[in-house]
Amino acid sequence: MSPVANLQPRHFLDLWRLDGPTIRALLDDAKARKVARLGWPTGRPDADAPAAGRTLAMIFEKNSTRTRFSFDAAIRQLGGSSIITNASDMQLGRGEPIEDTARVLSRMVDAVMIRAKRHDDVEHFAAAATVPVINGLTDKSHPCQILADLMTFEEHRGPVEGRTLAWVGDGNNVCASLIHAAGKLGFTFRVACPPAYHPDLMDLSRAGNAGTIEIGHDPRAAVEGADCVITDTWVSMGDTDHDERVAAFEPFQVNEALMDLAAKDAVFLHCLPAHRGEEVADSVIDGPRSLVWDEAENRIHAQKAVLAWCFGGAA
């Protein structure tokens, strides 16, 4: 038996599974870690190096740029190392059970990050693993992204509690994790989506009751006076109905006219990759209200907070 088999690992699977103070502590740790190493070379470990001697495995069933590079940079800055592979290169890709994969990797590494096609696979992997498991995006949620998003908003506009964030577009995985965060941290989250692309009702019931979540179909109403406007691709990885989606989402583009309805100092966020001319106009994503490059960078800092927490640190 593994010596750690009876310990409960700290998995980071979804924001709805955490309480508000834990999410707040993760955000604060991410910000503190960023400030503490300002001006340092990217490869220099943090002073506390909380992952020294630890190895993170990363498994990708879907493409990734930001998640892949930011987790790799993050574990190195925490003093640890990484092993990265595409699921198709593993026996997992030839049908080895996901639970067996979890049991084996738990004997070899200290934590596993997975980007999976099916959310249930991540849940099953975590249930069989004896080391922390991190959700690096599934069809249902993207919790790491939302830590970076909220961190970015707060760096520029202060605490998110009590503020209004507007989502324009697909009620997808990224939207779901924002719903979870709103309910835990206490902000207003307005969603404007086409009726056929409504968020999962399960996510509304899982969100805590600290915030206010409003779902509608009018982008102008959602954005009115909002402190932040957020969107994402109209066609996520794994979606097969491209043409129907592009037609349904055409009135949901975030452009200057829509941004002008938001608060005077409203900011724009997008998890990237973006499709200019579809969900966002060039003038918005490349304009002064856009924080997307800070948001992308903050994936490293947010992920470091998650990894340190998984290893028993923050919160």
Interface with ligand CP by CB under 6 A: which residues?
A: 64-67, 137, 145, 271-272
CA distances for 32 relative to 38, 155, 226, 282, 302, angstroms:
10, 11, 27, 32, 10
Residue nearest to ligand CP (CB): 67
Residue 104 phi/psi, 5-degree rounding, is -70, -50
Q: With CB under 6 A, what is the number of residues at the site for ligand NVA?
A: 9
Measured from the CB atom, is 152 or 233 closer to ligand NVA?
A: 233
Residue 234 phi/psi, 5-degree rounding, is -80, -20
Residue 184 phi/psi, 5-degree rounding, is -90, -40
Measured from the CB atom, is 263 or 305 closer to ligand CP?
A: 305
| Minimum CB–partner distance for residue 174 and ligand CP (Å) | 8
How many C-beta neighbours within 10 Å does residue 197 have?
Answer: 20
Q: Binding residue for ligand NVA (CB under 6 A) from 237, 246, 248, 261?
A: 237
CA pair distance 268, 285, nearest whole angstrom: 7
By a kind-dependent CB cut-off of 5 to 8 A, residue 65 interacts, out of ligand CP, ligand NVA, none, with: ligand CP
By a kind-dependent CB cut-off of 5 to 8 A, residue 164 interacts, out of ligand NVA, ligand CP, none, with: none
By a kind-dependent CB cut-off of 5 to 8 A, residue 236 interacts, out of ligand NVA, ligand CP, none, with: ligand NVA
Q: Which of residues 245-284 bind ligand NVA (CB under 6 A)?
A: 271
Measured from the CB atom, is 65 or 91 closer to ligand CP?
A: 65
Asked if 236 is part of the footprint of ligand NVA (rule: CB under 6 A), the reply reads yes
Window contacting ligand NVA (CB under 6 A); options: 128-136, 172-180, 251-259, 288-296: 172-180
Q: Which DSSP string corresponds to 244-293?
A: HHHHHHGGG-B-HHHHTTS-TT-EEEE-S---BTTTB-HHHHTSTTB-HH
Q: Supply 81's token pair.
A: 């190392």
CA pair distance 166, 262, nearest whole angstrom: 9
Which residue type occupies 312? G
**What 3-state DSSP class applies to 63?**
coil
Window contacting ligand NVA (CB under 6 A); options: 1-9, 154-162, 196-204, 229-237: 229-237
Measured from the CB atom, is 152 or 173 closer to ligand NVA?
A: 173
